Amino acid sequence: MESIHFQYFKTDISEVQLPKKFTFPFYYEPHLLAKIASNEIQEYLESQKDFNHDFGLEEGHSDSAIGKMFGILVVKNTENKLGYLAAFSGKLDDKSLPKKFVPPVFNMRTEGSFYTKGEAEIDEINSGLSAIIHNDNYRDLKGEFQQITLEINTDLEVQRKKMKVSKKNRKLQKKSAALTFNEIDFKNLTEKLKQESYNEQFFYKELQEYYQIKLNKVAQNLKIYNDKIDLLKKQRKEKSNYLQETLFSKYAFLNQQKELKNLLDIFNNPTVKPPAGSGECAAPKLLQYAFANDLKPITLAEFWWGISPKSAIRKHKNYYPTCQSRCKPILTHMLKGIKMDDNLLLENLSEKQELKIIFEDDTIVIINKPAEFLSVPGKEIRDSVYTRIKAKYPKATGPLIVHRLDMSTSGILVLTKTKEANKILQSQFIKRTVKKRYVALLDGELHTEKGNIQLPLRVDLDDRPKQLVDFTYGKNAETNWEIIRKENGKTRVYFYPITGRTHQLRVHAAHKDGLNTPIFGDDLYGKKENRLHLHAEFIEFVHPSTNQNISFRVEADF
């Protein structure tokens, strides 16, 4: 029986050759079949009336508008006919499940399901909490408790200051009396002052007890409410944990061998729960449906439809790899036994490249780092600037590396031969006295001549090594820029980074609140080309030995 979600190509694909292996989902160039299928789904999205979701593509869209990741999986059915499946990540605004797309791996919101019941129970607890928190008597008691606490603290602080002044005066009296009083009078004075001290301490202690009794009356009434709040919060946490654990067990994934594994088994870590949204991405949905319906996966692609989120960088209609944190463990199980394209992320392009030294003396080495060449060794690729310089100068002391360039960025890199030189140069980088200039070719035209970008950055924990814009937890990142010239629909610019965050220039170029124009060839934030067109062209700093300004410039080869 034909699957209702199996879609035949409308486009003539008779001349298109099939890929020899399945797509490596975490780094790929879409196959022509995947592009054709994606185009057909995009044509559908442009005119569909099956569901409601604000993608932010219309004028006057709401503030809550956001794009969505869609995926297509080209498959062969049991009759050896070619077609494709389509899916979307997460949920649509109207919570619908249009027939154009494969269903979720587990529909948690089926009417009467354990999840909807659990949600209703949690909603009931939240309503109870809200009723207590907004209760007038509870608010009055909280206000009274805070007011009394403030009065107590203020009054006790006044008393402590008075006691401090009295103690100082007694000390002065004793000092003065010791010079003029006879022994008997001095002894009497000492006893009198000691008694004053005891009296003050006794009064302070009684004052504390009086205030504590006053505070306890309110605290006891307040405790009745707080105990109810604590109990409801405990119940909510227990129900939420149970709901989550049950949900993880319900999300079970097939592979080609029909082996079924749920999220708890796949992530297999008792201390770390699977990330939120695991199993809701397009790729697992597509593969699950294919394996459940005896469809053979041929090639995969995912594209973004709509406006970008506020933090991450997503461009309308651009293709993107499958996310790492949520999907990699799941797809490792689901794609077991399927021959895939090579992982180009592990391809060591640097082995065939020469590391050009443009200057060296007894303390520093200046090199022109090629693109796709690591500054320091990675987990899988050991060849790097550091390892080569270390081999060339085995007697060099210190860390060698002063600063880094992204693997994909070419240009000037400064290294040191001595520990002292490294310390001096690192200090200059930290104090931001080093002058740096990058040249980049942007994939589009800018309409402002120059400017300043301030977008704080942090790592995307769900999709390393990508970076996110985050005004709450991100680190300050600032870039000045100016246009050099426009050429063939692209813009050549200078970047002057004030800070040196990971992927700073790439994100500041691509983000919608930055230049909204990715660097040409940026495979993380734009579109993959022959290389990332970003080059560290110029650097100026104070030489660690001569204390003279020294500068270097190497032109980009693009």
Spatial contact of 503 and 522, defined as CB atoms under 8 Å apart: no
Alpha helices in 432-490 (DSSP H): none
Query: Cis before residue 456, ω within 30 degrees of 0?
Result: no
Provide the pLDDT for residue 368. 96
What pTM did the predictor assign?
A: 0.76
Spatial contact of 141 and 269, defined as CB atoms under 8 Å apart: no
Residue 406 annotated as catalytic: yes
Tokens of 256: 């080609």
Indicate the DSSP class of residue 144. H
Q: Which position among 265, 406, 460, 513 bears the catalytic label?
A: 406
Provide the pLDDT for residue 26. 93
Output the tens digit of pLDDT for each of the chain's 558 residues: 557 899 999 999 999 999 999 999 999 999 999 999 999 999 999 999 999 999 999 887 777 899 999 999 999 999 999 999 999 999 999 989 999 999 999 877 666 678 788 888 999 999 999 999 999 999 999 999 999 999 999 999 999 999 999 999 999 999 999 999 999 999 999 999 999 999 999 999 999 999 999 899 899 999 999 999 999 999 999 999 888 888 888 899 999 999 999 999 999 877 778 888 899 999 999 999 999 999 999 999 999 999 999 899 999 999 999 988 889 999 999 999 999 998 877 766 666 788 899 999 999 999 999 999 999 887 767 788 999 988 898 888 877 899 999 999 999 999 999 999 999 999 999 999 999 999 999 999 999 999 999 999 999 988 888 999 999 999 999 999 999 999 999 999 999 999 999 999 999 999 999 999 999 999 999 998 989 999 999 999 999 999 999 999 999 999
What whole-number distance in Å separates Cα of residue 482 and Cα of residue 479? Answer: 10
What whole-number distance in Å separates Cα of residue 482 and Cα of residue 440? Answer: 11
Strand partners, 541: 550
What whole-number distance in Å separates Cα of residue 328 and Cα of residue 267? Answer: 10
What per-residue string of b and e applies to 57-86 under the rule 16 or more CB within 10 Å gives b? eeeeeeeebbbbbbbbbbbbbeeeebbbbb
Provide the pLDDT for residue 2. 59
What whole-number distance in Å separates Cα of residue 121 and Cα of residue 118? Answer: 5
Provide the pLDDT for residue 244. 84
Spatial contact of 82 and 76, defined as CB atoms under 8 Å apart: yes
Report the largest interatomic distance among the alpha carbons of the chain, rounded to a whole angstrom.
121
Provide the pLDDT for residue 24. 96
Tokens of 425: 């140069």
Provide the pLDDT for residue 4. 84
- Angle, CA 48 vertex, CA 46 and CA 49 arms, to 5°: 140
Indicate the DSSP class of residue 402. S
Provide the pLDDT for residue 349. 62
Instruction: Tell me the CATH number for domain 348-553.
Output: 3.30.2350.10
Q: Which amino acid is at 401?
A: I
Separation in Å, CA 35 to CA 31, 32, 41, 317, 463: 6, 5, 10, 11, 24
Provide the pLDDT for residue 110. 66
Per-residue model confidence as pLDDT tens digits over 90-106 = 999 998 999 999 999 98
